[in-house]
């Protein structure tokens, strides 16, 4: 069971602090899961953030203060060299002359998802995003009409860099379009392999395949699942059905007759929608972004939250996940 909440707070304040207090025990356990010595010291974290994402430093300091000013929480909030974590996920862009839509399914253990959809205005830019790691982004959109989504890249490489959610936060806080986002994704180091799909209101899109051990590959590709160019981790590829999902998405976006409705509906059915919750590869939610309209939709069977920058009510829904499906209430 997972509670999803929409939270509106323009500047970091008591609402974010309440979210931190609620999630901190679980994040502290995760952050120390490999031993504290495996995590970088505060000065290394701060210097890395200041060097690679200086525009976030002011917000970072505000959040650290709200978190109590502790050393460990400050290190975690930098998301510099965090523990490794693996997701599933399918994401694609349908670009048509009339509109551009980015849709994604997030496949992950429900008990490890925050379930917070956060509206913020931290750097004079409004952002709506599904939160992760307390201020990172799994997928989201800014008021310039830029939208982003991440998927695990299907490789075991781990190295010196940041968790992808904070990189996506940085993109949304500082970039206006796909070109600017591509420059950031090519520059900022990541600690694991991820596929980041980006689209803007002008209909441009790319998928950036980023990794700690090689240069980012950024191409005009509208589809991403859980491998990069070729299969390198066969067990994960087989379990996640990454090739099957990629093929399904490619068929959809390559077919000129695919409508927006058909495209979005496909994410609610196999093979894109997955019920493998026992192995942590079931679909937790579907997100649909319409950058030209500034609208976001978060979906579950029988329920959808329709949100926008000028229409963002604070709500809560409960989703129950099980072997036979998921249920909302």
Percent above pLDDT 70 for the chain: 98
- Name the phi and psi angles at 150, rounded to 5: -115, 150
Q: What pLDDT does residue 148 have?
A: 98
- Using the predicted structure, report yes or no on whether residue 251 has a pLDDT greater than 80: yes
Tokens at 49, concatenated: 């953030």
How many angstroms separate the first and last alpha carbons of the chain? 10
- Using the predicted structure, report yes or no on whether residue 98 has a pLDDT greater than 90: no
Instruction: Tell me the C-alpha distance between 130 and 112, whole Å.
Output: 13
**3-state class of 286 per DSSP?**
strand
CA-to-CA dists, residue 225 to 130, 161, 257, 325, angstroms: 18, 22, 23, 22
Confidence of residue 279 (pLDDT cuts 50, 70, 90): confident
Question: What is the side-by-side order of every strand in the sheet holding 90-95?
Answer: 223-224, 90-95, 100-107, 283-290, 295-300, 303-308
- Using the predicted structure, report yes or no on whether residue 90 has a pLDDT greater than 80: yes
pTM: 0.96
Task: Write the pLDDT tens digit of every residue in 7-28.
Answer: 999 999 999 999 999 999 999 9
Identify the structural domains of the chain with CATH numbers, from first to last: 88-321 (3.60.60.10)
């Amino acid at each position: 069971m997972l509670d999803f909440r929409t939270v509106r707070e323009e500047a970091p304040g008591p609402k974010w602090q309440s979210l931190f207090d609620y999630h901190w025990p679980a994040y502290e356990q995760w952050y120390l899961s490999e031993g504290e010595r495996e995590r970088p010291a505060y000065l290394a974290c701060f210097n890395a953030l200041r060097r690679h994402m200086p525009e976030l430093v002011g917000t970072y300091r505000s959040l650290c203060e709200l978190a109590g000013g502790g050393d460990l929480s400050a290190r975690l909030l930098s998301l510099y060299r965090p523990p490794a974590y693996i997701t599933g996920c399918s994401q694609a862009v349908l670009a048509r002359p009339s509109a551009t839509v980015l849709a994604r399914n997030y496949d992950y253990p429900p008990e490890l998802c925050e379930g917070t959809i956060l509206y913020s205005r931290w750097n004079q830019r409004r952002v709506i995003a599904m939160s992760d790691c307390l201020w990172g982004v799994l997928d989201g959109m800014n008021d310039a009409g830029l939208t982003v989504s991440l998927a695990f890249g299907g490789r075991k490489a781990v190295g010196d860099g940041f968790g992808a959610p904070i990189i996506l936060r940085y993109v949304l806080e500082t970039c206006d379009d796909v070109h600017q986002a591509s420059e950031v994704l090519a520059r900022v180091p990541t600690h694991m392999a991820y596929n980041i799909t980006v689209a803007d209101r002008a209909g441009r899109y790319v998928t950036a395949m980023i990794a700690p051990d090689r240069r980012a590959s950024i191409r005009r590709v509208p589809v991403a699942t859980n491998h990069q160019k070729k299969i390198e981790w066969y067990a994960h590829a087989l379990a996640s059905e990454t090739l099957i999902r990629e093929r399904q998405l490619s068929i959809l976006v390559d077919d000129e007759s695919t409508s927006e409705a058909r495209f979005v509906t496909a994410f609610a059915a196999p093979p894109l929608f997955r019920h493998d919750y026992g192995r942590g590869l079931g679909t937790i939610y579907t997100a649909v972004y319409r950058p030209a309209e500034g609208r976001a939709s978060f979906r579950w069977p029988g329920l959808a939250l329709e949100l926008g920058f000028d229409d963002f009510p604070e709500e809560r829904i409960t989703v129950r996940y099980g072997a036979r499906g998921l249920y909302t209430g």
